Structure 1
């Protein structure tokens, strides 16, 4: 074992002791059964929808138990760090209603800072303590030596790692290690694994039950190279220290970390910490023909959280969907009920849930249809200000028109139309109400008129200007349409056309479609009389007259 004076000289002289950190980061005063969870992304790229899923589950488990949900940014990998990514995590979590109780870049909370790069002294104090107890040691092996060892291991079909005869610094004489340290030779600090021949380890997972894996037999790196200006710990070491000092009781993370759990449990033991409980989530899957595969950041645009924001899925609907992926029982209840219901780990499956965008569309349609016109307008405007400034400008200038347009799809005493599943669809479904978004009126030869001769389209449009636009009630309005249809040889109603199709030029809806396309630019729309009432007589006349020529 290295002399204590040699160990102490490896670290800043005023470095706090682990007991100092225990006093600073005191146990939390929470009720019995309260869970402290954390979402701990690395700022190495865009936030994946799987990360948002993990955050949603972690937050739900903390909130429903009266606990605390923490955002910690694990930014010790300087080489892969993406500028602004840490700030983006906070923005995206907030946008989807998953803002943490404490943590993030702002560092709100008594157990911070919450960026690992700002907690260096915390880790150094614990590395020093392991060295003092001979549970860690300095390793001077350079990249070439490690590469040779890995080559020998592959050739001999041995497990890769730093152990046994491939771990020369483990048995280095203390005097030799001290000499090399004094000479300024670069080093890393490694854990002294307690097992020469590791066996199997069994631990509990809150989703998978009892799990048995091969234990760790590798002397993993705890502290990166001393050549770095400010050496930082590895992920494995830093997150174990942080979970303990932030008083995390339940670690919710992806199943890619399941195989690392033996290492993490070994580190907890070496540090004298009681480990938290673990819950490893299965990855989100995507259907590809008859098979399923993991959602890919490279292949699938829907893997990025930004995709859902830019498309305009309401955050509440996305939250509902993520909870439904966790607990299928929540998928088919109203959004408000799903968001209020507890998420149960015993209701989660160890196989990966399928990311099904049509189901998200369905939930989103139901949620939007449940909003009042005022609520819909406010949420739409929030989205448009960020992702469609032109639409936002129109909505602000014509708030009254926008509210009236939305109300058309929510007739009193009848179910709301479910024609919006994303805010980005608003232009297509309701943009025709606004002259700035409607564009030029279709010409009489437009295919949307169903193949009618342009001259007939013009006569129908002109006839309705003359006889229909002044109608003051729905009965008068649709009566004028039927009369117009009759004058041009169309059946008075669909039943008559079906009885004698050869007698008529077509069903009356063909004539109604001319008016519909002229007013809305689409072959489907809310109730035509209600649409005309919102547009106003002058605008109705202008659009029909433009078609009539």
Structure 2
């Protein structure tokens, strides 16, 4: 690539950042880093009616948590600032007027009521109302009015919009990195609004002007913007600017594979659709986040990378650095990507095994008040024994509680299976062996107890099942001898005696 690659992620601060938005940011980040380029964050807040307090900070916090921070943007390397569109609104009017001057746009004074009446009239006749070459000369705009009438309306402060003048009888040949060549018949395009008399541009004008002024080379965005591609190409042409390359990412679909993933799907099926927890400032409603639900950022990023992209190999586990090296827009699919809540758990389980036991121990201790007084080194050793079965830090208590507190009840089904005639005497003999043991190590304990079982021709299950029940309260957990070693001789004997007293 001859130009320095510059991409941008341009969300609107209208609420929490959806996981689909995170995927868009991730693909922009990966593309930028792959080509030693710049990842820009721009906040598109021209629609002040939908602005939500805290949303901008949430977006930045989410990107940072995912490990994909922006290189340039608000308060960071502000080469082309400001990076909030609301702070750039003084720029847009002159560009809209430039389009009017070269015949590419026009003033329209139609009221909402008048346009609604036209739509209803068309519907009654079985037609669809489109504001374009079909009828623009019959409507209230600077193409149908005299220059004097237009100036009078403007001087009187009459409300207006500036519309793009879509060409008639042309075929647009557009290119998309993911979708290839696209042909559009301009006769079906409407004359989109670019600017309003309140001084604010629409998304279309602000987006194009900002991308040009910020020297964006590639626009990587969601499929929902594909219908805008024709207008955006025409705007670049109308201004005489070189258009960036476009790539429209596939939709993220519901777990069923039908329809776009929504917050409602997450609420219904019990998984988050936001990276971080979000509290609505107006309603105080709380939405779950992947971070607070116990997912590692690496899991979320690795999972999202595969929503629409594949490396062309069997490899599924990628570090961020590996994703950067492997990422290629040419390997992004056109078809929608199904969101699989179980798959992201699979990723999280993998990254759980990669985490250092000491770090997991700190997280576990902070979440579990019952172990607040326990030495962190002991907790770390426990985690080393159980984390293979864990997907989240929140799983640790269920998997390891017996390392910290003695069982107070025993699984009834397992008890019927394990506690037989003679169990009391067998467990009493185990106590005798433990009391006599001076080298209290896993290997010594295992050799002595298994040697005793073998020499006395006792079935292993007759000893090991009731012993495990005494220690754990259920037939689960790591090796019995690891448990005995961890909880110590006195605690082990105490737990066995408790079972004996109930037999």
Provide the TM-score with structure 2 as the length reference.
0.83
Q: Distance in 1 between matches of 2:45 and 2:426?
A: 67
- 2:502 pairs with 1:536: no
Shift of 1:513: 3.9
2:433 match:
467
Match of 1:274 in 2: 242
**Per the alignment, in what secondary structure is the counterpart of residue 440 of structure 2?**
coil
Aligned pairs for 1:386-425 within 5 A: 389-391=366-368, 394=371, 398-408=375-385, 418-425=388-395
Structure 2: distance between partners of 1:96 and 1:277: 26
Equivalent of residue 524 in structure 1, options 453, 467, 476 = 476
Inter-CA distance 346–152: structure 2 relative to 1 (3 Å threshold): same
Give the secondary structure class of the aligned counterpart of 1:311: coil
Q: Do the aligned partners of residues 322 and 204 (structure 1) sit closer, same or farther apart at CA in structure 2, a change above 3 Å counting?
A: same
The answer for the alignment partner of 1:20 in structure 2 is none
- Structure 2 residue runs without a partner (length 5+): 277-288
Is the Cα contact below 8 Å between 2:19 and 2:274 reproduced in 1? yes
Q: Cα deviation per residue 1:223-242 (whole Å; 9 max; x = unaligned)? A: 2343xxxx321111111111
Tell me what 1:174 maps to: 147
Q: Deviations over 1:280-328 (max 9, x none)?
A: 111122443xx64432222233433344222222111222222233124
Q: 2: distance between equivalents of 1:128 and 1:65?
A: 37
In the superposition, relative to structure 1, how do residues 513 and 140 fare at CA in structure 2: closer, same or farther (>3 Å)? farther
Q: How many angstroms does 1:117 deviate by?
A: 1.5
| SS of corresponding position for 2:78 | coil
**Aligned partners of 1:73 and 1:111: how far apart in 2?**
13
Secondary structure of the 1:74 match is coil
Partner of 1:357: 341
Distance 1:123 1:433 in 2: 66
In the alignment, does 2:195 pair up with 1:211?
no
Describe the SS at the equivalent of 1:149.
Answer: helix
Aligned-residue offset at 1:330:
6.1
Aligned residues: 476
| 1:87 corresponds to which of 34, 57, 60 | 57
Task: Let me know the Cα RMSD of the aligned residues.
Answer: 3.3
1:192 aligns with one of 123, 144, 165: 165
- Contact kept, 8 Å, 1:60 with 1:342, in 2: the verdict is no
CA shift for structure 1 position 243: 1.1
Deviation track 1:318-368 (CA, whole Å, cap 9, x = no partner) reads 222222331244663443374353201111211122223333333332332
User: Secondary structure of the residue that 2:200 maps to in structure 1?
Assistant: coil
Identify the residue that residue 193 of structure 2 maps to in structure 1.
221
State whether structure 2 residue 302 is matched by structure 1 residue 308.
Answer: no
SS at match of 1:219: coil
Contact 1:311/1:423 (8 A) holds in 2:
no
Q: CA deviation at 1:95?
A: 0.9
TM-score (norm 1): 0.77
Conserved 8 A contact 2:470-2:496: yes
Instruction: Kindly indicate whether the alpha-carbon contact (under 8 Å) linking 1:441 and 1:546 is maintained by their aligned counterparts in 2.
Output: no
Encode CA deviations 1:442-471: one digit per residue, 9 max, x unaligned.
Answer: 324644546555998777666544433756
Would the aligned equivalents of 1:481 and 1:512 in 2 still touch at CA under 8 Å?
Answer: no
More off after superposition, 121-130 vs 275-284: 121-130
SS in 1 for 2:30: helix
Report the alpha carbon displacement of residue 63 of structure 1 after superposing the two structures with TM.
Answer: 0.5
Does the CA contact (< 8 Å) of 1:444 and 1:457 recur in 2?
Answer: no
- Is 1:367 equivalent to 2:335 in the alignment? no
Deviation at 1:116, TM superposition (A): 1.5
Q: Which residue of 1 aligns with 2:459?
A: 492
Q: Output the CA distance in 2 between the equivalents of 1:37 and 1:514.
A: 63
- Mean Cα displacement is larger for which, 311-320 or 461-470? 461-470
User: Once the two structures are superposed, what CA deviation does each residue of 1:150-174 show, in whole Å capped at 9, x if it has no partner?
Assistant: 2223334444432242542132222
Kindly report which structure 2 residues correspond to 1:445-456, keeping only aligned pairs within 5 A, or say none. Answer: 446-447=412-413, 449=415, 451-452=417-418
The CA deviation string for residues 232-283 of structure 1, in whole angstroms up to 9 with x for no partner, is 2111111111111111111111111111100111121222221110111111
Q: Is the 8 A contact 1:320 1:331 kept in 2?
A: no
CA distance in 1, matches of 2:228, 2:130: 14
* Whole-angstrom CA distance in 2 between matches of 1:392 and 1:347: 48
Identify the match of residue 133 of structure 1 among 90, 93, 102.
Answer: 102
Matched, 1:149 2:132: no
Q: How far is 1:115 from its partner?
A: 1.8
Q: Is the 8 A contact 1:395 1:402 kept in 2?
A: no
Mapped to 2, the partners of 1:160 and 1:309 lie a distance apart of: 47
C-alpha contact (below 8 Å) 2:108/2:163 kept by paired residues: yes
1:55 aligns with 2:28: no
Q: Is the contact made by 1:441 and 1:547 (CA closer than 8 Å) also made in structure 2?
A: no
Other structure's SS at 1:309 match: coil
Change over 3 Å in CA distance of 1:134–1:455 after alignment to 2 = farther
Distance 1:286 1:94 in 2: 26
Q: Which runs of 5+ in 1 are unaligned?
A: 1-30, 410-416, 494-506
